[in-house]
């Protein structure tokens, strides 16, 4: 999940089926060393009842969690009409189940974007139509590059370029599947008048790079079934034509 990728130090508990008293107690016992709880509710309208609700045993768990001293934020994916759930301290409505709603909720949680939504309907006596808490985005969001100090790494690259160990470099840093940094350094040749290295500079994969970068990445993509050795290179680079290049495969 995005929470896990961004924060890292977290525990996920999935509750899909009705909970027994023992199951509810087990979850509550796991909360002893937790300092923040984020609850995701998938709220559907029960057609036979004409109301939006969740399983009654899940509601008991929510009430028990609210009695603890642990701060709780509850996200509702789907219908926001939980009129009788006044015990929810912080309630965020995402109004849907799709990727857009999930991404918006995650951005709101981490302060990546402004939060300015208001309720279009009355939920209860406290949360009525037009109610909403507006929050400005954080100056430094959790996944911002500004939170990571690359000064030492940059100085090493600058020193290597000045010592003419290499004329330039393109650096890409990925953490838990999320792009953290992409930056170019130096020039394409030792001539300072040559084009600078940018994020769009294309390098010829050769020598050690082929073994240390291209091969492991290709193996990973194949294991994930995202790539086949028999696919033509032209499928990915249409400009790769002429001189029988159309028949060249990844293999």
Report pLDDT digits (tens) over 54-65. Answer: 788 988 898 899
97 and 78 in contact (C-beta within 8 Å)? yes
pLDDT of residue 143: 54
Q: Which tokens is 35 given?
A: 């300092």
- Catalogue the E-assigned strands of 68-215: 72-78, 91-93, 168-175, 178-186
21: helix, strand or coil: helix
- What is the reported pTM? 0.51
133-143 per-position pLDDT tens digit = 888 887 555 55
Q: Would residue 172 be called left, alpha or beta, if left means φ above 0 and alpha means ψ between -120 and 50 degrees?
A: beta
87 and 66 in contact (C-beta within 8 Å)? yes
Domain residue spans of the chain: 2-110, 145-247
164-213 per-position pLDDT tens digit = 999 999 998 887 677 788 889 999 999 989 999 998 888 876 777 777 78
Distance CA 53, CA 30 (A): 25
Residue 85, class by beta-carbon neighbours within 10 Å (0-12 exposed, 13-18 middle, 19+ buried)? buried
17-43 per-position pLDDT tens digit = 889 999 999 999 998 888 889 988 887
């Amino acid at each position: 999940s995005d929470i896990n990728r961004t924060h890292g130090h977290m525990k996920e508990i999935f509750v899909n089926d009705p909970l027994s008293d023992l199951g509810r107690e087990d979850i509550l016992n796991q909360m002893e060393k937790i300092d923040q709880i984020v609850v995701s509710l998938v709220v559907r309208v029960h057609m036979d009842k004409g109301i939006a609700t969740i399983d009654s045993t899940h509601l008991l768990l929510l009430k028990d969690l609210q009695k603890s001293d642990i701060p709780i934020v509850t996200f509702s994916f789907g219908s926001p009409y939980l009129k009788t759930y006044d015990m929810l301290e912080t309630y965020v409505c995402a109004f849907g189940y799709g990727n857009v709603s999930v991404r918006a909720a995650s951005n709101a949680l981490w302060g990546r974007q402004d939060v300015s939504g208001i309720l279009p309907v009355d939920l209860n006596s406290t949360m009525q139509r037009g109610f909403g808490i507006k929050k400005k985005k954080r100056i430094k969001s959790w996944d911002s590059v500004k939170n990571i100090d690359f000064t030492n790494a940059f100085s090493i690259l600058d020193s290597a370029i000045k010592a003419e160990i290499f004329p330039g470099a393109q650096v890409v840093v990925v953490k838990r599947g999320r792009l953290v940094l992409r930056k170019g350094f130096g020039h394409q040749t030792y001539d300072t008048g040559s084009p600078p290295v940018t994020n769009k500079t294309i390098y010829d994969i050769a020598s050690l790079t082929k073994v240390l970068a291209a091969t492991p990445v290709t193996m990973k993509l194949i294991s994930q079934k995202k790539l086949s050795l028999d696919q033509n290179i032209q499928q990915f680079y249409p400009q790769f034509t002429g001189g029988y290049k159309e028949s060249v495969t990844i293999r």
